Amino acid sequence: MLGKLLSIAHNTFRETIRQPVYAVIIVAAIFLFIVSPSLTMYSLDNDDKLLLELGLSTLFIAGLFISIFSAANSITEEVQTKTIITTLSKPVPRPIFILGKYLGVASAVFIAHYLFTSAHFIAIRHGVMSTASDEHDMTVVLTATGTIGLTIIISGFLSYFYDSKFTSTAVITASILTTFSLIFLTFIDRDWKYNPAGNGFDIFNVYASAMLFIALLAICAIALMFASRFNILITLSLCICVFLLGLISDYVFGRFADTYLWAKIGRMLVPNLQTFWITDAIYEKSQIPFKYVLMTASYGLSYTIGILFLTIALFQKRQIG
């Protein structure tokens, strides 16, 4: 069973990162990270705080659409092309099929989130040019330009000479090169000198990104659940509704949970995404304790496991073929 699970997960991951929409969302999000230092220079308050909030918002929204489209396509496409009949007749148990699909989609979302987080960190390292006298951090500019250029050259070479898929090759190549770029920028300052203390990175940003990824894991499970019963358009609509409700869960359900049964049920079924959204701490200048991150991770992973069990139960009753 483990071999079947890993095989389904691997195939799902490979097909997901080959999807054009996957690459389009990544390119669009990275472009927003590139221009974010310029967009935030016109605030009336602290520009760096706005840069952090804009970056985290981009992380969350881009990850949301990556999660929804990846999860929805992973099942909907197989149902429409009837390839799911071949898979389930091997035989592959339906719970293994769902878990394999989820692991494959979650892996693709992790790669995208890692690229987004890396671009966010690089934008933070560059900082906002608040005045006309500010100069670009050429260490960041040249490193980022080199990473993007090498990614295109290597992916194009492998695609032309070895017939590899350009989009998937570019995603994997960018992930590897970005890792080296982050390590380089961690130790080298804007004057091209060894200065780890002046890199501008903070553990707060790591915690914020990690918590958003946990929220995306829950959204992946929700999208997979809807995709097991509906088409991609309905899945997209329902996931966006759940996302918006999750952001205001405390206001819609939390304040009535002790009085009304419907609010208590809604609070249990809809993920409280505000728990993972910690931008308030940016303006309050407070740190996020590691204990809070662990508690949030426990909540997010428990919710994800519960949704996966519900997805398996729903998919067991679905007629295929």
Q: CA angle at residue 205 from 199 to 206, to 5 degrees? A: 100
Question: What's the pTM value of the predicted model, to 2 decimals?
Answer: 0.91
Give the span between the Cα atoms of 179 and 119, in whole angstroms.
Answer: 11
Give the C-alpha distances (Å, rounded to integers) separating 2 from 94, 99, 100, 138: 14, 11, 10, 48
The string of pLDDT tens digits covering residues 269-286 is: 889 888 888 877 766 666
Q: What percent of the chain has pLDDT over 90?
A: 34
Which tokens belong to 79? Answer: 């149902």
Q: Is the pLDDT of residue 72 over 70?
A: yes
Alpha-helix residue ranges (DSSP H) falling in the chain: 2-18, 20-39, 47-81, 83-88, 94-126, 138-162, 166-187, 203-227, 232-247, 249-252, 261-269, 280-284, 290-316
Average pLDDT on 203-230 reads 90
CB 210 within 8 A of CB 63: no
Average pLDDT on 188-209 reads 81
Side-chain half-sphere CA neighbours of 215 within 13 A: 30
The string of pLDDT tens digits covering residues 131-178 is: 656 677 788 889 999 999 999 999 999 988 888 888 889 999 999 999
Give the span between the Cα atoms of 264 and 93, in whole angstroms.
Answer: 34
Q: State the chain's mean pLDDT as an integer.
A: 85
The string of pLDDT tens digits covering residues 17-29 is: 988 889 999 999 9
- Backbone φ and ψ of 188, nearest 5°: -110, 125
**pLDDT category of residue 47 using cuts at 50, 70 and 90:** low
Give the span between the Cα atoms of 186 and 182, in whole angstroms.
Answer: 6
Give the span between the Cα atoms of 168 and 242, in whole angstroms.
Answer: 30
Query: Cβ atoms within 10 A of the Cβ of 246, count?
Result: 21
Which tokens belong to 80? Answer: 């429409």
